Structure 1
Amino acid sequence: MSPSSKCVFERRLIEKYIAEKGTDPISGEELSVDQLIEIKNPPVMKPRPPSATSIPAILKILQDEWDACMMNSFAVRQELLTTRLELSRSLYQHDAACRVIARLQKEVTASREALATLKPHAAVSQPREAPYGLEADESAEATDEEIGMSEALQEKASALTAVRKQRGKAIPENLIKPEVLSGYVELASHMGLHSASMPGITCMDVHLTNPNYIVTGGNDKNVVVFNKETEEIVAILKGHQKRVLKVAYHPTEEDMVISSGADSIINVWSVGAQKSRHIIRAHTTPVTGISIHATGDYILSVSSGEKWAFSDIRSGRLLFRVDDSAPSSQGMTCAQFHPDGLIFGIGNVDTTIKIWDLKERTNVANFPGHAGAIRALSFSENGYYLASVGDDSAVKIWDLRKLKNLKTINLSGKFQARDVCFDLSGNYLAVSGADVRVFQSKSWNELVVLKDHTDLATGVRFGENACFIVTCGMDRALRIFGQSEVA
């Protein structure tokens, strides 16, 4: 008998098992032959009945024992087969689960990489709101046109991405050096562009290919096109019923300017004719931000009424409008297209920046972090960085690849930031507010502070290769900064 399991064994078998295993066959505990307890039979045993001592009876007993052994062996084999099948099934399930997990991990990694670089996916047809003045069935007829538009947007984005990658490999040869830019002074100041009775230039923009042309919008409801080189007013565009909130110069056409105002309309102007080509009525609340698409055919607009719209500036037709139905949304303050034109950023009153996919019309990423309403956005031309300013007097640089805040520049509490702008090379960043400040990208060192405005500076833009800086402000002044001619 084993003292460990208290079971009785045949002496020969248990000694053989201990010699091989060294353990109790039942409990698995260590066991030696010396620990076994011998069980002795009484000297006097009850004899077997005569019926069990005959040869037939002995054969019957042996047959019964053999049958019992065979049945037990058969049962053990059945259980072994069942166990093997269950084990095989479990192994296959485990292998399949590992393959699924590996595939899902690969898909998640690919999705994160795609989201990090903000590469939009193929367009998905979604229900959309009918434009003002169009019935629902009329807006539905634009399906084929929108498919063609989507293809045009994708082709333009691919072309721009290739050009941008090639251009981003080297700094432009004629780009102004940081040590030169840090010595910029005021070269000219123009006070007579807008009315003195309703003072204040609220916004401005510079023509991309001919930076001598500057457009401004003011509290006097007028849009003014100014030639920096000749120092002459090219056109005064009148048509808004309330103050102008945003202006944008068409990137390739000197004769086209677009403006939006507190009167909730968007004007597409002909500079030469000094009249409106189209009036786009995409909103019912003040249009707080506009941005021209890289194709030059479309414009993005946002309003304080929590809606953004996409319109055709060639026909003046609203293509679609999207309502930001997020519970936290409190109105939109500014908008800016990414350089490739497939995504764009929108600044909100609720302190968040939302990145939207143009083709899918979905919110693909959010950047929280500001402590006040967002006032302006600017994408770097390399497509990797987004700069934002808000009422918290902070400048934040966002990494679009990692979807996180890369750098925060805290300005004084009284700075009242109103505009932010990267130069075309992406090497410099300018911010306007109580004054105008220029920072060098990557190091984010402050290069120069321009304090010439006597009131809030509402806009700032760079000239070609940062050879000059243009600013505007509530002091009615359009100021030009550059390298001193004396120097």
Structure 2
Amino acid sequence: MRRIYISYCEADNELALFLATQLRARGFDVWIDYERIMHNQRSNPRLTDELRSYDSVVFLHSCAALHHPLVQQELAIARELNLPVFVLLLEQLDIRASGEFAYLLRYDSIDFSLWQNRRQANMLLQELIRHLNQKQIPDYVISSSNADQLSQLAVLHGHTSWVRTVAFSLNGELLASCGNDKTVCLWDMRTTPTLLDVQTAHQASVWDVAFSPTEALLASCGNDSVIRIWDLENLPQLYELTRFMDHHDPVYALAFSPDGQLLASASYDNTVHVRDITRVRHTGIADVIVPLLHSSHVYHVAFSPDGQLLASASRDSTIRLWQIDRGNLRGLARAKPEFLLGHMSWVNSVAFAPHEPILASTSHDSTVRLWNLIDKQEIGRLVGHTASVNTATFSPDGRILATTSKDNTVRLWDVATQQSIAVIEGHDRWVNCAVFSPNGCYLITASGDHMIKVWGVPDAVANGI
């Protein structure tokens, strides 16, 4: 039985009690300090001994908690004991401004700000339980210290032409892929990778696939200008729930907002379309569709982790940042974006760091650039690829950036030092995409050689990860 210690302040009593009740009902041994609730306790001289007997700490992250002496003591002791800490974010805080708590950024975090919504609470609770049940295997998580030891662990055979994109579901159990063979493939990744289903509804090459972070939905898009929404509730087979045909040319990329309520797409028609799909499962349509303009083809789009920014990458050599106002989504069409300028050729992709205000971009100019989203300035230029850089993706902890290129390689970069730490040369054609598994133990790559390859630390398979 997993033993869980909940660290919180009295202002967050309601959530602490909710979690204790729900987790105990699911078989966890949960400790919650009722003295804190009853008497506003400020210190505990037995805390070190108590924490030593627990497997992990769940921290309710709020401004009040960060200023609570007992919470500060709990976090400090958990750090000393090297206990896993799971951070539940109750409000948006710039903890980077305080060096004292900057180390919290290295822990797993879940946005729990909507927990009082019953439907959201159930989904968030399931996500927390998944994190708590994950086997603690830090030695096999891809890191700067072992990145140069990565080996090919598996090859997934299912496509008969170029593989364009691969994407993981939030829990890491499913992998979706798509390619020039007009198919969308769905894989079971829980043990040995297994092909579950192949869908052939698209009438031309399929460019991108994306899982909803909150619903059992998968989106796909391609050269037929159609975005298809697939229902995942009746696996192993996919069923088309609905489709969007509001673009007039090929659609290259898709992105769900972190709360799953918005779906953005990037197209050859020089636009990004942002859709409100809150009720799509019930109505089959988008409540709102907002077009955003570039001066040339748009190749990629991504939401920031907090859902407040949308970044788009274009053949016009610009990156545009759009501020999302949920209260006035239609007004986004008239909003002026901020520009990130620096690439000398078209921009192929953008990726937000999971825990830092950093954006990575890749370009046909063979460079990868890092941008500070606070002052919108370039803070790094990663040089090493010898041809156009197709995509970039951050590891779950944000410490490693993986980039793919038309030079047939994948490069891994240490984000802090901005140095190349590994080069993977396992494909015979362009590498079109790479994605880390949600537990950080695997890197999946997709290529023009028709192959999907799984990379990881060799001992990972032997130890049953």
Corresponding residue number in structure 2 for 1:97: none
Corresponding residue number in structure 2 for 1:425: 397
Corresponding residue number in structure 1 for 2:372: 399
* 1:168/1:382 contact within 8 Å kept: no
The CA deviation string for residues 160-187 of structure 1, in whole angstroms up to 9 with x for no partner, is 7359988962424835442122211111
Q: How does 1:109-188 map to 2 (within 5 A)?
A: 159=90, 161=92, 169-172=104-107, 174=138, 176-188=142-154
Corresponding residue number in structure 2 for 1:333: 299
Report the Cα distance in structure 2 between the residues aligned to 1:357 and 1:285, rounded to whole angstroms: 25
Report the Cα distance in structure 1 between the residues aligned to 2:249 and 2:304, rounded to whole angstroms: 25
* 2:312/2:321 contact within 8 Å kept: yes
For residues 163 and 400 of structure 1, do their structure 2 counterparts lie closer, same or farther at Cα, with a shift above 3 Å needed? closer
For residues 162 and 230 of structure 1, do their structure 2 counterparts lie closer, same or farther at Cα, with a shift above 3 Å needed? farther
* 2:214/2:259 contact within 8 Å kept: no
Which of 351, 355, 360 is matched with 1:378 structurally?
A: 351
The CA deviation string for residues 332-370 of structure 1, in whole angstroms up to 9 with x for no partner, is 111000111121100011110000122241233101111
Report the Cα distance in structure 2 between the residues aligned to 1:286 and 1:242, rounded to whole angstroms: 9
Query: Is 1:473 the counterpart of 2:447 in the alignment?
Result: yes
Corresponding residue number in structure 2 for 1:221: 182
Tell me how large the CA RMSD over aligned residues is: 2.3
Q: How does 1:318-329 map to 2 (within 5 A)?
A: 318=286, 319-324=288-293, 329=295
Corresponding residue number in structure 2 for 1:351: 317
* 2:143/2:400 contact within 8 Å kept: no
State the Cα distance separating 1:250 from its structure 2 match: 2.1
Which of 232, 236, 239 is matched with 2:194 structurally?
A: 232
* 1:251/1:296 contact within 8 Å kept: yes
Q: What's the secondary structure of 2:427's corresponding residue?
A: coil
Residue segments in structure 2 that go unaligned for 5+ positions in a row: 1-88, 108-135, 326-330
Report the Cα distance in structure 2 between the residues aligned to 1:294 and 1:265, rounded to whole angstroms: 23
Which of 235, 251, 272 is matched with 1:287 structurally?
A: 251
The CA deviation string for residues 266-289 of structure 1, in whole angstroms up to 9 with x for no partner, is 100123242210101121111122
* 2:213/2:259 contact within 8 Å kept: no
Which of 265, 273, 285 is matched with 1:317 structurally?
A: 285
Q: TM-score, normalised by structure 2?
A: 0.65
Q: How does 1:403-418 map to 2 (within 5 A)?
A: 403-414=376-387, 416-418=388-390
Larger radius of gyration: 1
For residues 447 and 283 of structure 1, do their structure 2 counterparts lie closer, same or farther at Cα, with a shift above 3 Å needed? same
* 1:219/1:243 contact within 8 Å kept: yes
For residues 177 and 203 of structure 1, do their structure 2 counterparts lie closer, same or farther at Cα, with a shift above 3 Å needed? closer
Report the Cα distance in structure 2 between the residues aligned to 1:204 and 1:177, rounded to whole angstroms: 21
State the Cα distance separating 1:208 from its structure 2 match: 2.1
For residues 323 and 181 of structure 1, do their structure 2 counterparts lie closer, same or farther at Cα, with a shift above 3 Å needed? closer
Give the aligned length: 320
Q: What's the secondary structure of 2:92's corresponding residue?
A: helix
Corresponding residue number in structure 1 for 2:203: 241
Residue segments in structure 1 that go unaligned for 5+ positions in a row: 1-157
Which of 220, 234, 245 is matched with 1:259 structurally?
A: 220
Report the Cα distance in structure 2 between the residues aligned to 1:346 and 1:267, rounded to whole angstroms: 21
Q: What's the secondary structure of 1:182's corresponding residue?
A: helix
* 1:399/1:405 contact within 8 Å kept: yes
Report the Cα distance in structure 2 between the residues aligned to 1:323 and 1:452, rounded to whole angstroms: 38
Q: Which amino acid aligns with 1:380?
A: A
Q: How does 1:68-107 map to 2 (within 5 A)?
A: none
Corresponding residue number in structure 2 for 1:194: 159
For residues 267 and 419 of structure 1, do their structure 2 counterparts lie closer, same or farther at Cα, with a shift above 3 Å needed? same
For residues 372 and 235 of structure 1, do their structure 2 counterparts lie closer, same or farther at Cα, with a shift above 3 Å needed? same
Of the structure 1 ranges 382-391 and 163-172, higher mean CA displacement relative to structure 2 is found in 163-172
For residues 169 and 320 of structure 1, do their structure 2 counterparts lie closer, same or farther at Cα, with a shift above 3 Å needed? same
Of the structure 1 ranges 230-239 and 444-453, higher mean CA displacement relative to structure 2 is found in 230-239
The CA deviation string for residues 364-385 of structure 1, in whole angstroms up to 9 with x for no partner, is 3101111111111100012400
Bigger proportion of residues as strand: 2
Query: Higher relative contact order at CA 8 Å, sep ≥6: structure 1 or structure 2?
Result: 1
Report the Cα distance in structure 1 between the residues aligned to 2:389 and 2:399, rounded to whole angstroms: 20
For residues 465 and 440 of structure 1, do their structure 2 counterparts lie closer, same or farther at Cα, with a shift above 3 Å needed? farther
Corresponding residue number in structure 1 for 2:173: 212
Corresponding residue number in structure 2 for 1:304: 268
Percent identical pairs in the alignment equals 21
Report the Cα distance in structure 2 between the residues aligned to 1:307 and 1:401, rounded to whole angstroms: 26
Report the Cα distance in structure 2 between the residues aligned to 1:176 and 1:459, rounded to whole angstroms: 17
